Each structure stands twice: as structure tokens, then as C-alpha cells.
A and B are shown apart, each in its own frame.
Chain A
Amino acid sequence: NAGVTQTPKFQVLKTGQSMTLQCAQDMNHEYMSWYRQDPGMGLRLIHYSVGAGITDQGEVPNGYNVSRSTTEDFPLRLLSAAPSQTSVYFCASRSRPQLVPSNEQFFGPGTRLTVL
């Protein structure tokens, strides 16, 4: 299993540009999430999904869009990039916690995004 994969690893954007961060998992996990990590802030939840076709907002959703058309993929779209979106983005997945509450959340390697 490849686990959780993210592309690209690094990206530089100009203010106003749009782009999509890709995330895929091959563990048949129903739950997937996007986090951003900023210095001194820990990880903050952007959007999450509990299954194909179902998404919901997290703590910091503004400026981001998600969709979940398949179990495997959960792309994150930046609609119009701003310098405040400079961050490290992590995608994560896990199986249904209702079934096994101790199941860990698996993280991708992260995408380091800089918005100029």
C-alpha cells in the first residue's frame, strides 16, 4: 500500500492564482481530512469528508473548496490564492472511528505552499 499520497510536494503561487492540491489513499478509508499547519498554531482542520459525496467544513474553510467523488481521492482547491494561505498542507485518512475508535489517522507527507 502506498498509504496517503499528496502532490505536489512544493508549490509557489502568485496572489490570485488558483490551484488544486491532490490527495489519494489506497486503504479504502471512508474518512478523509485536510489540515493546514502554521508555525505555533498546530494543525487546523480545513475540510473533511466521511464518504464519497459527503463533505463538511472544519475550523478554517474560507478560501478552500473540496469535493469527494471517489473513496480514494480528496482534492483541495484554492480558489484565489492569498499570502495568508502560505502554509504546509496535510491530507489524512482513517477508517470509520465508529467501528474501531482507536484507529489512527494516517497522514500524507504534506505540501509546502508559498503564495507571493
Chain B
Amino acid sequence: AQKITQTQPGMFVQEKEAVTLDCTYDTSDPSYGLFWYKQPSSGEMIFLIYQGSYDQQNATEGRYSLNFQKARKSANLVISASQLGDSAMYFCAMRGSNYKLTFGKGTLLTVNP
């Protein structure tokens, strides 16, 4: 069975600072993928970044990077230079060998001016 844990229900960050959102996972699958999605208050789900379990390097997409530590089973999202528009709910998700996507409960990020 797959499990995603996001231990931070809410996080606050000052504009222009970096913030790390935690995600740990549990799976027995040797091959899996990790995703981060953003959900603003308008409700849509926006794909941010993907990391494959066999990828040697941490994934980066603009201001987003994924700090992947396979041995610790963690896949933290790092947002650099936070902007007011980054205020949203963030979900970590994992796809295992059954190709189903399992989501964590989310972290609500608030960026303060």
C-alpha cells in the first residue's frame, strides 16, 4: 500500500523568502513517481513538478525544486523567492506500480507581504 504524509497543516513565509514543504512517503514498489500539485483558492489543481524514483538528480521547474532523499523516503518541495500568488494549498502525491495516484492531506501555505 502507498502512503503519503504531509505533517505541516499550515506554513507561513515572508514574501521573497524560500520555504520548504515536507512530504514523506511509504511504498514497497521499486519504481514510483512523486508529484506536487498546487491548489489556489479558486479550486483548480495545478501540476508543479515530478520526480521519478530512479532519477539521479533532483527535479527543478523554475522557482520550484524537489529535494528527493530516497533513503529517507522524503520528497520535499522547495519554493524559492516566494510570491503572494504562491499562497495556496499544496499536495504531494505518489504513483506506484499500480499507476494509481495517492495524495497527502495537503499543506496550506500563506505568503505574507
Query: Does A97 touch B at the CB level, under 8 Å?
Result: yes
Known: A48-B100, A102-B52. A97 touches B95 (CB 8 A): yes
Contact A41 B43 (CB under 8 A): no
Contact B45 A33 (CB under 8 A): no
Known: A43-B91, A50-B99, A58-B100. A102 touches B44 (CB 8 A): no
Which of A40, A42, A43, A104 sits near B47, CB closer than 8 Å? Answer: A104
Which of the four size classes fits the interface of chain A?
A: 20 to 34
Bound complex: CA A35 to CA B35 (Å): 16
Contact with A along B93-113 (1 / 0, CB 8 A): 101000111111110000000
Contact with A along B51-73 (1 / 0, CB 8 A): 01000000000000000000000
Known: A102-B33, A102-B52, A104-B50. A45 touches B102 (CB 8 A): yes
| Chain A residue at minimal CB-CB distance from B59 | A102
Contact B43 A45 (CB under 8 A): no
Bound complex: CA A108 to CA B76 (Å): 26
Which of B33, B45, B93 sits near A97, CB closer than 8 Å? Answer: B33
- Interface residue ranges of A7-49 to B (CB < 8 Å): 31, 33, 35, 40-45, 48
Contact B106 A33 (CB under 8 A): no
Contact with B along A91-105 (1 / 0, CB 8 A): 010000110011011
Bound complex: CA A80 to CA B102 (Å): 27
Query: Does A107 touch B at the CB level, under 8 Å?
Result: yes
Contact A45 B52 (CB under 8 A): no
Residue from B47, B99, B102, B106 with most neighbouring chain A CB atoms (10 Å):
B99
Contact A102 B50 (CB under 8 A): yes
Which of A33, A42, A92, A98 sits near B91, CB closer than 8 Å? Answer: A42
Contact B45 A90 (CB under 8 A): yes
Can you spell out 9 A-B residue pairs with CB atoms less than 8 angstroms apart? A40-B105, A43-B91, A48-B100, A58-B100, A101-B33, A102-B52, A105-B101, A106-B47, A107-B45
Interface residues in chain B, defined as those with a beta carbon under 8 Å from any beta carbon in chain A: 4, 9, 33, 35, 43-45, 47, 50, 52, 91, 93, 95, 99-106
Query: Which 9 residue pairs of A and B lie closest in terms of their CB atoms, listed nearest first?
Result: A107-B45, A104-B47, A42-B105, A42-B103, A43-B103, A102-B50, A97-B99, A101-B33, A42-B106
